[in-house]
Amino acid sequence: MLKKRLIPKLLIQHRKLGRTTRPVLVTTTRFSASHDVGDPVSQAKIYEAQLADELIVLNIDGTPIGDDKLMLELIERLAGETFMPLAVGGGVRALDDFGLLLERGADKVSVNTAALDDPDLIGAAANRYGAQCVVVSIDFRTGADGASFVVRHSARHTTGRTVLDWAKEAADRGAGEILLCDADRDGGGDGLNWQVCRQIADAVPVPVIISGGCGRAEHFTEGFVKGCAEGVAAGTFFCFRDQNPMQTRAHIRNAGVAIRMET
Amino acid sequence: MSCSSAVVGIVDYQAGNIRSITSALEHLGARAIRIRAPGDGNDATHLLLPGVGAFGFCAGRLRASGLLAYLEEWTLGRKRPTLGICVGMQLLADTSDEMGFQRGLGFCGGEVRRLTSTDPSVRIPHVGWNAAVFCDDFGEFKSGESADFYFDHTYGYRTPISGSVLATCHHGETFCAALRRDNLVAAQFHPEKSQAAGMRFLRSFMAM
């Protein structure tokens, strides 16, 4: 049986440290006010030892990946020093960017803004690299009327499209996975928006990952059981709380969710 | 053969994730070399056929690179131990129905078809950790043993005609997770991304 996935999310920004610029692991709250956490490769190795099922690595600087030598080097190092699946995104603009990241050891490539600008990119990437490596990442906010809309550029702009509408279109066009993030809940620790996740999971045949809001182990269980998510991703939760994937995993398994317990 | 004396020739036809598999092999103490042209890699003790992307694209690249003849000589003719991974496994079939009808290398026969599911909770693509159940002994794995590996695919290898199923996996339906024909072994999952179980699988291959 296919296991549900527990996915630490590594958000990356470039920081000037003395004379050099280095990629640093950060956390965000509602997509802003980031805290620096440390070295992404060291943290990835810790997550691997703790049996994380996959890593999502997102550059949130917005630099086009084709120009981002530091990010490409980071992916190479992550793929060289850990032996687990990597989904990588942030700054993916063109079809060739998928190839750039896959060559450096990414297994899946996440695309967000560029897919909104040019939805044909989804189908082109699926035809060239296979649907299973094309992840369409969707950030959303929920208005006072309860409707959830897609947002872009670190949630500063709304697109006027509902999450449901865009997720369905992305899956129809060949996305192999949908990665949802609730911008309102990001970094808050008050629980996932499993309701939106469930709505999307019921409407598309591909796996759906939900993130934004994990604060306790039971939030993961809600994502899997109520939200029908195939994976739950979290950044702040794993970085700052006295929780690690192993403890969280035990809690989820005790709730009856099929999950990996050993390699 | 121990891992430290293995020299693994990775068939580089510009359609595979070479970096991750190279790191995994080196982590195990083996030497990994790239085979870009038919004259390369005569000192390799093992061969590895990776594959990421669409079946037709990979098959076309392999034929155009001249490396298909290389595999025919070394894998089929001289029986050098060879491991196909993911699309590198699917290419061993006669045909695939990915984006129409595609012709494979036919080393192991049979067909690759899109995975199907009637259960909405069984999602396609098949992404994540799933159990491969071995139906034969293979190195460190015993027949009947089950281990979780990382899968990421939309199409599945049905029963090979030449050679036999080494492990099965179930996702909506049962498909061939690994196969073996003499010196040729192939896996649908990614051993280089499957942490400890993946390392055991690669060690088992290099012991061939």
Inspect the interface and report whether the beta carbons of B99 and A127 lie closer than 8 Å.
yes
Q: What is the mean pLDDT of residues B153-171?
A: 94
Which residues of B are designated catalytic? 86, 190, 192
Q: Which of A129, A176, A231 lies at the smallest CB-CB distance from B53? A: A129
CB contact under 8 A, A231 and B128: yes
pLDDT tier for residue B136 given thresholds of 50, 70 and 90: very high
Question: Tell me, what's the pLDDT at A244?
Answer: 66
Residues B62-94: pLDDT tens digits?
A: 999 999 999 999 999 999 999 999 999 999 999
A61, A139, A182, A184: which is the annotated catalytic residue?
Answer: A139
Stretches where chain A sits below pLDDT 70 are 241-244, 263
- pLDDT of res. A181: 97
Interface touch A260/B27, C-beta < 8 Å: no
The secondary structure of chain B, three-state, reads CCHHHCEEEEECCCCCCHHHHHHHHHHCCCEEEEECCCCCCCCCCEEEECCCCCHHHHHHHHHHCCHHHHHHHHHHHCCCCEEEECHHHHCCCCEECCCCCEECCCCCCCEEEECCCCCCCCCCCEEEEEEEEECCCECCECCCCEEEEEEEECEEECCCCCCEEEEEEEECEEEEEEEEECCEEEECCCHHHCHHHHHHHHHHHHCC
Q: B99: which chain A residues are within 8 Å (Cβ-Cβ)?
A: 127
Looking at the DSSP bridge assignments, the partners of residue B181 are B184
Q: How many CB atoms lie within 10 A of CB B111?
A: 18
Token match 């980031």: residue? A34
Given 3.30.1360.170, 3.20.20.70, 2.60.260.20, 3.40.50.720, which CATH number is that of A5-254? 3.20.20.70
pLDDT digits (tens, 9 = 90+) for A118-167: 999 999 999 888 899 999 999 999 988 889 999 987 777 888 899 999 99
If you measure CA to CA, which chain A residue comes closest to B148? A263
| Shortest distance, CA A208 to any CA of chain B (angstroms) | 9
Q: Are B103 and B90 in contact (CB under 8 A)?
A: no
> Do the Cβ atoms of A2 and B130 come within 8 Å?
yes
pLDDT at B166 over 80: yes
User: ipTM score here?
Assistant: 0.94
Mutual orientation of helices B195-206 and B18-27 as an angle, nearest 10°? Answer: 80
Classify domain B3-206 by CATH architecture. Answer: 3-Layer(aba) Sandwich (3.40)
Nearest Cα residue in chain A from B54: A130
Q: How far is A262 from chain B (nearest CA, A)?
A: 9
| Structure tokens given for A48 | 């691997």
Residues of A in contact with B195 (CB under 8 A): 48, 51, 83-84, 263
Domain boundaries, chain B: 3-206
Nearest CA in chain B to A177: B125
Question: Among residues 135-194 of chain B, which lie with CB inside 8 Å of chain A?
Answer: 148, 150-154, 170-171, 190, 192-194
Q: What is the chain A residue with the closest CA to B131?
A: A1
Q: What is the pLDDT at residue A14? A: 92
Residues of A in contact with B131 (CB under 8 A): 1
